[in-house]
Amino acid sequence: MVFWFNSDRERGRVFAEAFARDLPDLPFVMDISERDPEEIRYILTWTTPPDLHRFRNLEIVFCIGAGVDQFKTETLPSNVMLVRMVEDGIVRMMQEYVTLAVLALHRNLKAYIGQQADATWRSLPVRQAAQQRIGILGLGMLAQAVIERLKPFGFPFAAWSRSEQHFDGVDCYHGPGGLTPFLARTDILICLLPLTKDTQGLLDGELFAALPAGAALVHVGRGAQLDHDALIAALDEGHLSGAVIDVTEPEPLSPEHVFWRHPKITLTPHIASATQPETAARAVIDNIKRHRDGLDPIGLVDRNRGY
Ligand code: OXD
């Protein structure tokens, strides 16, 4: 029984130490060339490795990231579990990034950076937090953690999810029928949805039109959810006031892409959050122990839902 770490060596070294300390009976390898593929029980990887059928005794594929849309799930045998990364480092970094983005939009930071470049000393109108309605697309673990981090500022919160959910202090909307009323009460929209066939292209012209005039977007979901032309049109018409974008399709964007220089867009290169090896190794080890005890791993992907 062997664990194959199929990712970068730097993080692999941290994982190897943690496995040697906390799971010494499970051989940990980064190079499988000298191993019989039938020995491999667990793989940690970003996406589906080639020739997966070689691993006839595979039990769990752990994704090194939080999102699993890059996996070809149809090539994973149905008895193999796919587990997304649920670990404190990803959560903490996402909380930091979304807080940074929301506060930057709330307090007009991009406009002030522009004014500084022009040596302009002028104050801009500012809403109080109690009037700045935040709406989160998605109510999974990351969205809930982001809400908890932002709560002390006093913003009113709503969230939209595919199926009905409840979360303390948040107006919860769900399903196709809940989307329009959710958008109508949202001044800063945060997209934290997984990429599925239903969320592909969701951030389009129709969705932007359903937001109140002056609304802004924070996009930390997946690039393929956003229609770039529709966003530019909504910003240039003045319907949207700003956007903070961390994910795009493709990544990276070409140097000519309009997002780089748009005065209302803050663009970052998919850095909102990243798997931290110390906390991720702990999470994977705990999941292997759960699996050995006959429990489902935390982060088990529902293949029908796609996340
Ligand atoms: C992830 C990511 O899925 O980096 O973890 O986007």
| pLDDT tens by residue, 176-185 | 999 999 999 9
Per the domain annotation, does 298 fall within a domain? no
What atom of ligand 1 comes closest to residue 222's alpha carbon? 6
Question: How much is the pLDDT for 204?
Answer: 98
174 assigned to active site: no
What atom of ligand 1 comes closest to residue 65's alpha carbon? 5
The residue segments making up the domain with residue 56 are 2-87+275-292
270 assigned to active site: yes
Within this chain, do residues 133 and 65 fall inside the same structural domain, yes or no? Answer: no
Residue of minimum CA distance from atom 2 in ligand 1: 65
Within this chain, do residues 53 and 172 fall inside the same structural domain, yes or no? Answer: no
Query: Mean pLDDT across the stretch 225-243?
Result: 98
Within this chain, do residues 107 and 185 fall inside the same structural domain, yes or no? Answer: yes
Within this chain, do residues 261 and 283 fall inside the same structural domain, yes or no? Answer: no
Per the domain annotation, does 160 fall within a domain? yes
Question: How much is the pLDDT for 99?
Answer: 99
Within this chain, do residues 33 and 135 fall inside the same structural domain, yes or no? Answer: no
What is the pLDDT of the chain when averaged over all its residues? Answer: 97
Residue 268 has pLDDT above 90, yes or no: yes
Question: How much is the pLDDT for 72?
Answer: 86
| pLDDT tens by residue, 66-113 | 999 999 888 899 999 999 999 999 999 999 999 999 999 999 999 999
Q: How many domains does the chain have?
A: 2
Per the domain annotation, does 302 fall within a domain? no
pLDDT-derived band at 281, boundaries 50, 70, 90: very high
Within this chain, do residues 62 and 95 fall inside the same structural domain, yes or no? Answer: no
Q: Report the CATH number that the domain containing residue 93 is assigned in CATH.
A: 3.40.50.720
DSSP the chain: -EEEEES-HHHHHHHHHHHHHH-TTS-EES--TTS-GGGEEEEEESSPPTTGGG-TT--EEEESSS--TTS-GGGS-TTSEEE----HHHHHHHHHHHHHHHHHHHTTHHHHHHHHHTT---------GGG--EEEE--SHHHHHHHHHHGGGT--EEEEESS----TTEEEEEHHHHHHHHHHT-SEEEE-PPP-TTTTT-BSHHHHHTSPTTEEEEE-S-GGGB-HHHHHHHHHTTSEEEEEE---SSSSPPTT-GGGG-TTEEE--S-S----HHHHHHHHHHHHHHHHTTPPPTTB--TTTT-
Per the domain annotation, does 16 fall within a domain? yes
Within this chain, do residues 98 and 19 fall inside the same structural domain, yes or no? Answer: no
**pTM confidence score:** 0.95
| pLDDT tens by residue, 165-203 | 999 999 999 999 999 999 999 999 999 999 999 999 999
